[in-house]
Amino acid sequence: DSGVTQTPKHLITATGQRVTLRCSPRSGDLSVYWYQQSLDQGLQFLIQYYNGEERAKGNILERFSAQQFPDLHSELNLSSLELGDSALYFCASSPRTSGSGELFFGEGSRLTVL
Amino acid sequence: DAKTTQPTSMDCAEGRAANLPCNHSTISGNEYVYWYRQIHSQGPQYIIHGLKNNETNEMASLIITEDRKSSTLILPHATLRDTAVYYCIVINNNDMRFGAGTRLTVKP
């Protein structure tokens, strides 16, 4: 158990819909990272937050947005969903803002868009 | 950011050492080498990291060449449960980008 909690574990929805994925980082960790992993693909970095502020942006679509709240939990919002958005979405947390690659990953949220 | 190159796949016999190579020829002086693994569709798991010196922990050993342009992750006695995708990453900032990794299959 990494200490990172992601909900929901599974989610099935239809094209055009909007969903919110939630991540609770390990106690005390200020950084949260979001990744997307499509079937048999590598991990695609989406975005990173540190103590409520966006710190790095990867290949995140404009239809996707994220935020980190004062209690440090984070949410990833996916809108106007397309079939290609079906994937595993991982959240990871880290105690540092940068310079440390030791990330602790959650078990992921599996999104299926029909 | 420095990029890494890893073989797509490798096999290893159970009980033998698994040596997973990684090339990072454009690494700069303050960039660390990190290794993670992902078993099936679980969340990736941190294994080990290093800057210049070789490192060892309860999971693995990391050998970094003197010029730091390549490294090798060593699993000393591979078990079937070590079958996973292993990612080598080079970072010095917030951008944690993973490559395709090496799919290691440990065979009985």
**Mean pLDDT, contiguous 10-residue spans, chain B (108 residues):** 85 97 89 92 92 93 95 96 94 74 96
Alpha-carbon span B10 to B20, nearest angstrom: 8
Question: Strand runs (DSSP E) across A10-63, as ranges?
Answer: 10-13, 19-24, 31-37, 44-50, 53-57
In this prediction, residue B93 carries a pLDDT of 65
* Span A1-27, average pLDDT: 96
Which residues in chain B (68-87) have CB-CB distances under 8 A to chain A?
A: 87
Indicate the residue type of A56.
A
Determine the distance in angstroms separating the CA of B38 from the nearest CA of chain A, rounded to an integer.
10
Give the whole-angstrom CA distance, residue B90 versus residue B49.
Answer: 9
Do residue A102 and residue B94 have CB atoms under 8 angstroms apart? no
Q: A86 or B41: whose pLDDT is higher?
A: A86
On average, the pLDDT of chain A sits at 92
In this prediction, residues A24-30 reach a mean pLDDT of 93
Residue A13: is its pLDDT beyond 80?
yes
pLDDT band with cut points at 50, 70 and 90 for residue A99? low
Residues A3-12 pLDDT 10s: 999 999 999 9
Look up residue B61 and give its amino acid: S
SS3 (DSSP) at A47: strand
**Which among A37, A55, A108 has CB closest to B94?**
A55
Chain B contact present for A5, CB below 8 A:
no
Which pLDDT score is estimated for A100?
A: 64
CA–CA gap between residue B55 and residue A42 (Å, rounded): 26
What local confidence, expressed as pLDDT, does residue A2 receive? 86
A12-16, A85-89, A92-96, B37-41: range with lowest mean pLDDT: A92-96
Question: Does residue B48 sit at the A interface (CB-CB below 8 Å)?
Answer: no
Q: With a cut of 80, say whether residue A96 has pLDDT above it.
A: no
Confidence at residue B98, expressed as pLDDT on a 0 to 100 scale: 83
The CA-atom distances, in angstroms, between B104 and each of A16, B10, B11, B56 are 38, 5, 6, 20
Quickly tell me which residue has 């000393």 as its tokens: B76
List Cα–Cα distances, A37 to A52, A89, A108, B18, in angstroms. Answer: 24, 6, 10, 26
Question: Tell me, what's the pLDDT at B3?
Answer: 81
Q: Which two tokens stand for residue B67?
A: 């010029």
Is there a contact between B41 and A88 if contact means CB atoms under 8 Å apart? Answer: yes
Interchain proximity B44–A43, CB inside 8 Å: yes
Phi/psi at B84 (nearest 5 deg)? -175, 175
Instruction: Give dist(CA B66, CA B17) in Å, integer.
Output: 22
Q: Within an 8 Å CB–CB cutoff, is residue A25 touching chain B? A: no
* Residue A101 contacts B, CB cutoff 8 Å: yes
What percent of chain A is predicted at pLDDT more than 90? 77
Q: Write out pLDDT tens, residues A57-76.
A: 888 999 999 999 999 999 99
Identify the three-state secondary structure at position A34. Answer: strand
- Cross-chain Cβ contact B96/A50 below 8 Å: no
Distance CA B16, CA A84 (A): 40
3-state SS record for chain B = CCCCECCCEEEEECCCCEEEEEECCCCCCCCEEEEEEECCCCCCEEEEEECCCCEECCCCEEEECCCCCEEEEEECCCCHHHCEEEEEEEECCCCCCCCCCEEEEEEC
Q: How far is B88 from chain A (nearest CA, A)?
A: 11
